[in-house]
Amino acid sequence: MDAVPLHVLVVDDSALQRRLVSLNLKKWGFTIKEAASGVEALEICKSNQFDMIISDWVMPEMDGLEFCKEFRKLQRNSYGYFILVTSKNEKNDVAQGLDAGADDFLSKPVNSAELKARIQAGTRVLEMEQKLLAQNEMVNNALSELREVYDEISKDLVEASKLQHSLIPVRHKSYQTAELSLLFQSSGHVGGDLVGFFNISQNRIGIFSLDVSGHGISSALLTVRLSGYLNSHNKSQNIAFEPRPDGSYHFLSPREIASLLNDRMMQEMDTEHYFTMAFADIDLQTGHVVMVQAGHPHPIIFNPETGVRFLGSGGPPIGLLPFVEFEDFEFDLKPGDRLLLHSDGITECQNANGDLFDEDGLEAMLKNKLDSSGPEFMDDLLWQLTEFSQGTPFDDDISAILFEFTECVRP
């Protein structure tokens, strides 16, 4: 038997029957309490936790069947194994007893060997219950600890999301000859997309859109580091500016910027991530643009008069292979032209059927929104993607930067 004696309540209106059962149980090491009726037994059970009940079926006032039903209604910390003692052996009687909540049956007159066998069977059930309770407690404790860890991680991710959004300082900026608008929406708490801009000189700006491979925290950490390389506040910390001996700075070409970033990725960063990028050096007076496309989606020029044009030839991503050659390409923006750089989260947006928004969907959207501009255009783009996805959560970050050339100033 179990090292800790089980508590057993013996219920019978016959003192002799109670005595016979109790003597055997005490001999086998159980702790025994007796009750002379179902009513008395129920009152005792309200203030005591018994592991096992052995109750006669036929008793005055409250029979064993009714007692069993009431016993099952009591609030307990553990299971109570219930054995009905009866001379009834019809199938209907057994079914009635099981339906009332009985676990086993003993036939009258009670045989010592059968009693021991039924007790041992009940003990095994109770031992299994205790093991399950212990395992459940371990699982619940583990889940509680995981919830605490998850809550802390969630708090950290919320703060990380705030930090990542702070990397995109403004949503809209106006210049004398142009308007600049930015869009960023992460697919989770944090993501691997980044859009931004900085001043190259009084009349030139650099705008960029990049997308780190993968998702989640590791991608976001690399994004933060890359934002430092393209610092918009300090030329000495911006990889695009090369210091000269006289204290001035030489601005690298877009392809040189991509090449330098590729070298940093391959030599200094121990990571399996890579990223794609589109970077444009734009003259605010003339509209002349020098660009590099490093594995990023094709830049787009669209205009109410000339329609939609996709630019670039692709190019390799950054941080995937060493000694990669990147190429610049140049073009001139005319007043009314809009230049859109975007991540593949837009063209690879899926709906519930698995269909992609793709370049055709983006082109159709741009043609329908040729009169929309600035933040309004970005809102329209996000709304169009949300409508297309049919409520399906975005699988990837959504980001874009829109440069709208409004006026050409010839030097």
Domain ranges of the chain: 7-136, 167-405
- Rounded to the nearest 10 degrees, the angle between the axes of helix 217-229 and helix 112-166 is 10
pLDDT tens for 120-146 read 999 999 889 888 888 888 888 888 888
Q: Which of 72-76, 158-162, 295-299 has the lowest mean pLDDT?
A: 158-162
Task: Give the residue from 113, 102, 115, 123 showing the smallest Cα distance to 5.
Answer: 123
**Share above pLDDT 90 across residues of the chain, in percent, rounded to a whole number:** 55
Q: Please state, rounded to an integer, the average pLDDT across all residues of the chain.
A: 87
Cα-only R_g, the chain? 39
pLDDT tens for 272-310 read 889 999 999 999 999 999 999 999 999 999 998 888 999
Sign, CA torsion 368/372/373/377 = negative
Highest-pLDDT range among 107-111, 139-143, 158-162, 363-367 = 363-367
Q: According to CATH, what is the number of the domain 167-405?
A: 3.60.40.10
Angle at 356 between CA 352 and CA 361, to 5 degrees: 120
Burial of 391 (0-12, 13-18, 19+ CB in 10 A): exposed
- Continuous segment of H or E residues that includes residue 184: strand 178-185
Q: Which residue has better confidence, 28 or 147?
A: 28
Q: Which residue has better confidence, 22 or 91?
A: 22
Question: How many Å apart are CA 161 and CA 125, to the nearest integer?
Answer: 51
Q: In what order do the strands lie in the sheet with 204-212?
A: 193-201, 204-212, 275-283, 288-294, 328-332
3-state secondary structure of 24: helix
Q: How far is CA 216 from CA 161, 222, 274, in A?
A: 11, 10, 14
Per DSSP, 256 falls in state H
**What is the per-residue DSSP string for 120-172?**
HHHHHHHHHHHHHHHHHHHHHHHHHHHHHHHHHHHHHHHHHHHHHHHTS--SE
368: its two tokens:
């329908």
Amino acid letter for position 209: S
Question: How many Å apart are CA 266 and CA 220, to the nearest integer?
Answer: 18
3-state secondary structure of 51: coil
**Share above pLDDT 70 across residues of the chain, in percent, rounded to a whole number:** 91
Cβ contact 359:347 at 8 Å: yes
Mean pLDDT of 388-402: 85
Q: How far is CA 371 from CA 210, 338, 399, in A?
A: 27, 11, 21
How far is Cα of residue 382 from the mean position of the Cα atoms in its chain?
Answer: 22
Task: Give the residue from 366, 316, 364 showing the smallest Cα distance to 340.
Answer: 366
How far is Cα of residue 99 from the mean position of the Cα atoms in its chain?
Answer: 44
3-state secondary structure of 94: helix
Mean pLDDT of 30-47: 94
pLDDT at 165 over 60: no
Cβ contact 100:65 at 8 Å: yes
- Per-residue confidence (pLDDT) for residue 95, from 0 to 100: 85
pLDDT tens for 324-345 read 999 999 999 999 999 999 999 9
Question: How many Å apart are CA 1 and CA 29, to the nearest integer?
Answer: 8
- Continuous segment of H or E residues that includes residue 404: strand 398-405
pLDDT at 1 over 50: no
- Helix runs in 167-253, H state only: 217-229
Amino acid letter for position 99: D
Band of the pLDDT at 2, cuts 50, 70, 90?
very low
pLDDT tens for 255-265 read 999 999 999 98
- Residues with Cβ < 8 Å from 66, sequence gap 6 or more? 38, 100
Q: Which residue has better confidence, 186 or 9?
A: 9
3-state secondary structure of 249: strand
Task: Give the residue from 283, 319, 317, 281 showing the smallest Cα distance to 297.
Answer: 317
Q: Which CATH number fits domain 7-136: 3.40.50.620, 3.40.50.2300, 3.40.50.150, 3.30.565.10?
A: 3.40.50.2300
Cβ contact 60:13 at 8 Å: yes
